[in-house]
């Protein structure tokens, strides 16, 4: 079985459904490795200090914003973590709407959602059947890989799909609100 790329719970009201998120589409892009000509030796990129020419350990690297030539404001990783959306363990459904109310142009990727164990199959199926019977889509938000997404939770024949918008900030810019 495929490995979940995200695990958490779908929540709405007092209901929680433990689920895993699985990729519904495959990346068919050709990915190349860099090799030394005439050999099969892989080439690796190293982080090198421009001034000293010495390799720098990943733990010694911070981000910086140049405010003037050669003058930087340094931002530590924990400071970035404080302002970034947290790692969400929930897909929070905030509303239920008709699928035809959603413009497909705003959605980027689709994922399968599956119950996170046989003991959750019944509650998962109740949610799936209720959405199908009502012909509704759950509108939700969740955070994955440090970005918040607006999503549509919709039904398939025997499973749920999560269709993600572009990250929220990007989606708002696309529709002229950011």
Where do the structural domains in the chain lie, given as residue ranges?
6-25+86-174
Residue 132 is given by DSSP the state H
Question: Is domain 6-25+86-174 classified as CATH 3.40.50.300?
Answer: no
The percent of residues in the chain predicted with pLDDT above 90, rounded, is 43
103-107, 120-124, 148-152: least confident range = 103-107
Tens of pLDDT along 117-135? 899 999 999 999 999 999 9
- 100/37: higher pLDDT: 37
Is pLDDT above 50 for 41? yes
Give the pLDDT score at 144: 82
Arithmetic mean of pLDDT, 163-171: 62
**Residues 29, 159: Cα–Cα separation, whole Å:** 27
The secondary structure of 28-86 as a DSSP string is ----PPPB-TTS--B-----B-TTT--B--GGG--EEEEEETTEEEEE-HHHHHHHSPP
């Amino acid at each position: 079985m495929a490995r979940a790329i995200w695990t958490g719970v779908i929540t709405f009201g007092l209901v929680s459904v433990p689920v895993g998120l699985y990729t519904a589409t495959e990346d068919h892009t050709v990915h190349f490795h860099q090799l030394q000509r005439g050999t099969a030796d892989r080439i690796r990129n190293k982080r090198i200090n421009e001034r000293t020419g010495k390799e720098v350990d990943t733990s010694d690297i911070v981000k910086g914003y140049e405010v003037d030539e050669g003058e930087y404001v340094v931002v530590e990783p924990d400071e970035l973590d404080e302002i970034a959306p947290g790692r969400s363990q929930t897909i929070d459904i905030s509303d239920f709407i008709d699928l035809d109310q959603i413009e497909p142009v705003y959605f980027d990727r689709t994922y399968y959602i599956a119950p996170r164990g046989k003991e959750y199959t019944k509650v998962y199926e109740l949610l799936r059947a209720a959405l199908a019977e009502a012909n509704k889509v759950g509108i939700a938000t969740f955070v994955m890989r440090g970005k918040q997404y607006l999503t549509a939770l919709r039904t398939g024949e025997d499973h749920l799909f999560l269709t993600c918008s572009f990250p929220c900030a990007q989606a708002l810019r696309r529709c002229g609100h950011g």
